[in-house]
Structures are given as C-alpha cells and as structure tokens.
Structure 1
C-alpha cells in the first residue's frame, strides 16, 4: 500500500496554496505555473508533485503538454475538516449580531 502525503502538510506551504489558487481559475502547464513564482521550475515541479500525491491537483495530457487542474474532490478532506469550525464561528457571529441589534434597540 502506497502511503499518501498528508493533505494538511501540503496546504501548509504558501507556494502550494498559491498554486491551488492559480489552478482554481484554470488548468495550467508547469511552465505557466512557474512563471508566477521567483522559484526555479524544479522547485515548482516538486510542489506540484506533492499536490498531485495528495490528490489536490490532477494532471491531464493534451498533446505534448501536461496540464494541471484543481481536483475539487481532493479538497473535500480539507473542507470536511474546516466545516464544523466554520459553523461554530457563524453561530458566534450570529449571536454577536443579535446582541448588537438588541443593544442598538435599547438606545
């Protein structure tokens, strides 16, 4: 069984988060991705490899070019982890908003 990299370690790196942001807009070649960084193409390729191993991005061959695109299913593990916290903060902000409205109405 091949051990998969941890998705949270993958997104901990700012360069990899930037790659995810770039690919959320469109599929890109490694060269096109690397043009957005001051790092070597080899460094960016390593970041792409990690994101691919975590299944956050997928590669697709088009002719001679390899394109990388965001894999929404790969992001699900992250979203599932974050969701309870998002709900908790939404509830807290709702309570704060209600408290502020109540305070405003007393003035």
Structure 2
C-alpha cells in the first residue's frame, strides 16, 4: 500500500524510509489501518487517523473502474483481502478469507 515507505528486507517487511510527502504519509497510515498483524505503529498517535480511515474503500487502479480495496485485513482470516465492486444492478463484496475449522 505504501511502496515508497515499506520494503521487503531478508524476506520480511520493514520501514525503508519515512514518508516524505502528505501522499506517502496517507498511504503509510492506510497500511497501518490495513495491517493484519497490527505490526505498523507510529511514535505518536496520528491526529488525522479518522480522516485516513474515511479514505476507504480505495480504488484499485484506473484500469479497474468500480473495483475498490476495502482494507482492514484480519489476522484471523490469514490477512485475506476484501474488495467492493460497484455495479449498477447492485454492489458486490468479495471476501477472500479462508474458513478456519477446528
């Protein structure tokens, strides 16, 4: 979600750089909100976290109009991703979670 900020280092995710613009900061906070393991933190509470929360769902890209990433991945669903597809005959929610059986 924030490739300018987070990178893979030795097979693990890591902060590669601090956000250098408001856009990068917003993307980093979106990643914080979406992290399934709650591994992303800030030194101080982000005062604008509610404004960033209201940016969801996020458009996937210009090539897929009407398809949005919902965010908020859950550790209990193994970090599954959910999407919203806006359709004139009714919207569709796609949840790629895996059921866990005991």
TM category, shorter: under 0.3
Task: Looking at secondary structure, tell me which structure has more strand per residue.
Answer: 2
Structure number with larger C-alpha Rg:
1
Q: Scaled by the length of structure 1, what TM-score is found? A: 0.25
